[in-house]
Amino acid sequence: MVLGDGGFRYLMEEGVYYSNAHYQHANTETIVGHVSLATGTVPAAHGMVANVWFDREQDRLVYNIEDSNYHLLTAGADVDRKTEIDPTQKAARVEGRSPNNILTSTLSDEMAIHFAGRSKIFAVSVKDRGAVSMAGHTGKAFWFSKASGAFVTSTYYYDRYPDWVSEWNGREPASSYAGKSWELMQPSSTYLFGGADDREYETDLAGFGKVFPHAYGESDDKYFTTKLTLSPAGDELTLDFAKTLLDEEQLGQDEVPDYLAISFSSNDYVGHLFGASSLEIEDNLARLDRTLADLFAYVDEKVGLANTLIVLSADHGQPEAPGYLQALGIDKAHYFDTDALDKTPAIAALKKQFGIGEELIKEYFHPYIYLNRDLIREKGLDQSLVEKAVAAELKKFNGVADAVSSTALRTASLPDTPLMRSILRNFHPNRSGDIFLVFEPDVFINDFDGLVVASTHGSPWRYDTFVPVIFAGAGLPAAKINRPVTPYDIASTLAAYLKIKPPSGATGTPLAEVFVE
Ligand SMILES: [Zn+2]
């Protein structure tokens, strides 16, 4: 696969490229990473500790940005539980979205405050959580609804759609993919994995197939819009919507700085289905490279790249599929089954010891285990003792690297290791579960309610924390920096660059190569 001009190569060769950037929190999931980018701080401060957490007051799992006070502007555009395959998205039981669960301010909020509401602030993504996070509390977010095949928003942002959004959706751009397929962009011999398309561990979702070409199906296919998100089509639609937004909302046309966040999510979904080292990921990146080149050329034409500071990063890294590693001789890579944790012999024996017949492990939703606190109280048991006992048993499971109780985190009775620090940075007392379960490197869950995928990120290990951080445009001189930096530094850097105060919880360090006078 060959990169073209004007996309990734423009960023890497002409931008300030930090090649050694890592997150420092333990749960490397979508909302956690996006909000860390937006706020410049860790989940312990911004509060978005996981894509889904158990809300003890409501006694149910909640989806990170669900908010029943702000319903979607399009009726029937919310998650369709019959066809939703994203296990995180499926957890949303409430129709409505807002950023109200984000506890600290975002860079975009600080721009709104500093420039007295005159900055235009927008965020776009295929995923609702990819847009709501980056828009912050003050911006406007649009995301792709698989149920309606259109870009939508909620009443948090608008009472009615801007005309240009209705017009864009009215053209039904998604339907142009009907009956078509995702095909290789370049001759297969140019790809590293050109001869390795068909592998048994890849996911075959509803006729999408494991090999090229991947057919989208007709527009009445139950999974048609889902398949668009699992391919470069999702990014292409996002690009088209973002270009229209940039033009219609007149971004970058006056002296007040504006903000546009675009989260291209196809790379994530394609990685889940086919693994990081796959022909699909290779082609998706080749196409994302063209998508970026198209975006930058458009920005150059409308605003000028000299007047635009571009930042590229990611919400998390991407792990290899165990099957790929095993083929290379890394035998320990495997999947872990978290179903029926409560019924495993070790936990069953522990429950017997405590005199508990009912379910002790109330819920597991990555990365936390939630114990039945009411039951523990009823039995007159000590919560911290039960937590520690369950954690001690879980640590013995094959594939478990550690199980860390929240009591241990609260009382700081832990060894001071990089892993413990990353779990502590992820800890919020009201949202984190009772035990943080850490799998060994190259071990992860792949079965979500019957949907079996090739790989899943979300670990504290380097392949999941490793992301690009690149600044480009705005007359920045090219530089390649190997010094360790973090994605939390981005918001602090942009605040310093704009000479405004950093977001309320920001812990990052302004990167000197970008904001020097
Ligand atoms: Zn993902």
Q: Is the pLDDT of residue 412 over 80?
A: no
Q: Assign 447 a pLDDT band (cuts: 50, 70, 90).
A: confident
Distance 318 CA to ligand 1 centre (A): 8
Helix, strand, coil % over all residues of the chain, rounded to 5: 35, 15, 50
Predicted pLDDT of residue 252: 98
Q: Assign 440 a pLDDT band (cuts: 50, 70, 90).
A: very high
Q: Compute the residue count for the chain.
A: 517
Instruction: Supply the DSSP symbol for 306.
Output: G
Query: Where is average pLDDT lowest: 18-27, 278-287, 409-418, 465-474?
Result: 409-418
Q: Is the pLDDT of residue 55 over 70?
A: yes
Q: Is the pLDDT of residue 85 over 80?
A: no
C-alpha 43/C-alpha 32 separation (Å) is 6
C-alpha 413/C-alpha 429 separation (Å) is 16
Predicted pLDDT of residue 441: 95
The radius of gyration of the chain's CA atoms, rounded to the nearest angstrom, is: 23
Distance 265 CA to ligand 1 centre (A): 8
Distance 156 CA to ligand 1 centre (A): 25
pLDDT (average), residues 412-436: 94
pLDDT (average), residues 198-213: 93
Distance 194 CA to ligand 1 centre (A): 24
- Report the candidate in 54, 159, 38, 26 with the shortest Cα–Cα distance to residue 99: 38
Spatial neighbors of 327 by CB under 8 A, at least 6 apart, are none
CA distances from 57 to 84, 289, 378 (A): 27, 45, 18
Instruction: Supply the DSSP symbol for 181.
Output: E
Q: Are 358 and 372 in contact (CB under 8 A)?
A: yes
Per the DSSP assignment, residues forming a β-bridge with 444 are: 335
Distance 365 CA to ligand 1 centre (A): 14
pLDDT (average), residues 411-428: 93
Q: Is the previous residue joined to 173 through a cis bond, with omega within 30 degrees of 0?
A: no
Percent share of the chain, pLDDT over 70? 100
Q: Is the pLDDT of residue 196 over 90?
A: yes
Secondary structure of residue 465 in the 3-state scheme: helix
Q: Is the pLDDT of residue 448 over 90?
A: no
Percent share of the chain, pLDDT over 90? 88
C-alpha 268/C-alpha 131 separation (Å) is 15
Higher model confidence: residue 337 or residue 99? 99
The three state secondary structure string of 388-452 is HHHHHHHCCCCCEEEEEEHHHHHCCCCCCCHHHHHHHCCCCCCCCCCEEEEECCCEECCEECCEE
Q: Assign 435 a pLDDT band (cuts: 50, 70, 90).
A: very high
pTM: 0.96
pLDDT (average), residues 256-266: 98
Q: Assign 498 a pLDDT band (cuts: 50, 70, 90).
A: very high
Predicted pLDDT of residue 81: 73
Predicted pLDDT of residue 459: 97
Secondary structure of residue 275 in the 3-state scheme: coil
Predicted pLDDT of residue 516: 67
Which tens digits make up the pLDDT trace of 339-362? 778 888 999 999 999 999 999 999
CB atoms closer than 10 angstroms to residue 430:
11
C-alpha 90/C-alpha 417 separation (Å) is 35
Distance 191 CA to ligand 1 centre (A): 24
Predicted pLDDT of residue 517: 60
Please name the residue ranges forming H helices in 47-93: 87-90
Distance 36 CA to ligand 1 centre (A): 16
Predicted pLDDT of residue 310: 98
Distance of CA 228 to the CA centre of its chain: 18
DSSP symbols for 195-257: T----TTS---TT--SSSSEE---TTSTTHHHHHHTSHHHHHHHHHHHHHHHHHTTTT-SSS-
Taking the alpha carbons at both ends of the chain, their separation in whole angstroms is 39
Distance 273 CA to ligand 1 centre (A): 10
Mean of the per-residue pLDDT values of the chain: 95
